[in-house]
């Protein structure tokens, strides 16, 4: 029996941009996919809401065996002028949300002795971008979190990896203007290109790929 027949996949922030592309790709790969986000009634910042959402998903579709932590927000500003609220709002969603969802998903993955977690980080975790101290801290934190979970769960058939997209054409990057001149590839990436990488990382063939970061940025961080 393949993993597709034993459980389902969850994509947070899965209603638009990278998350929507990932959800669509995983459905094409044969997964039953549930998306989580504020528009679907689950605020990943709140562990109680995450618990209820995962319980409902398990009741409808079986255990969660794939988790893609994609939910993310930006609230830019120079560090010296950044408010506590700006800092916390980004960390609470981007980093704490991933922790809450991962902790809950690991219960079903441990029971199945199989699981795939992919954390959507960002190129700013590797390459500083002024004005994004909160965003960079949250995305760098995701990379560190990824490595720890990978080491803790490797003997139990569970992998945890990260992808670090660069400038991808989404609503979140629309206000950044044309950035192609800064990218060696001379173009922005497409959400589907990130989704293809996630598809590989959650596959059975990627079972020995664990604790790594797959960069999808047109050589921006090279």
Catalytic (active-site) positions:
135
Q: Residue 10 and residue 97: Cα distance in Å, rounded?
A: 13
* Contact yes or no for 68/11 (Cβ under 8 A): yes
Q: Residue 159 and residue 1: Cα distance in Å, rounded?
A: 19
Q: How far is CA 107 from the centre of its chain?
A: 18
Which ranges of 29-180 would DSSP assign to H, the alpha helix? 47-61, 84-91, 97-112, 133-153
Closest CA to 36 of 90, 91, 102: 102
- Return the structure tokens found at 188: 């922005």
First and final CA of the chain: distance in angstroms? 40
């Amino acid at each position: 029996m393949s993993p597709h027949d034993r459980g389902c996949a969850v994509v947070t922030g899965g209603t638009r941009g990278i998350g929507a592309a990932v959800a669509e790709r995983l459905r094409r790969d044969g997964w039953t996919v549930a998306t989580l986000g504020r528009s679907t009634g689950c605020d990943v910042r709140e562990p109680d809401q995450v618990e209820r959402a995962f319980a409902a998903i398990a009741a409808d579709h079986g255990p969660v065996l794939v988790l893609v932590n994609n939910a993310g927000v930006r609230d830019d500003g120079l560090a010296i002028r950044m408010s506590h609220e700006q800092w916390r709002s980004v960390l609470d969603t981007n980093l704490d949300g991933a922790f809450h969802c991962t902790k809950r998903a690991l219960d079903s993955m441990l029971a199945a002795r199989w699981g795939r977690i992919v954390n959507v980080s960002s190129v700013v975790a590797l390459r500083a971008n002024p004005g994004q101290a909160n965003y960079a801290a949250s995305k760098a934190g995701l990379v560190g979190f990824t490595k720890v979970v990978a080491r803790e769960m490797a003997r139990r058939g569970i992998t945890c990896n990260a992808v670090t997209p660069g400038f991808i054409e989404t609503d979140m990057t629309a206000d950044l203007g044309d950035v192609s001149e800064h990218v060696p590839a001379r173009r922005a990436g497409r959400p589907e290109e990130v989704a293809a990488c996630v598809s590989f990382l959650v596959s059975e063939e990627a079972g020995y790929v664990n604790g790594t970061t797959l960069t999808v940025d047109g050589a921006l961080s090279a």
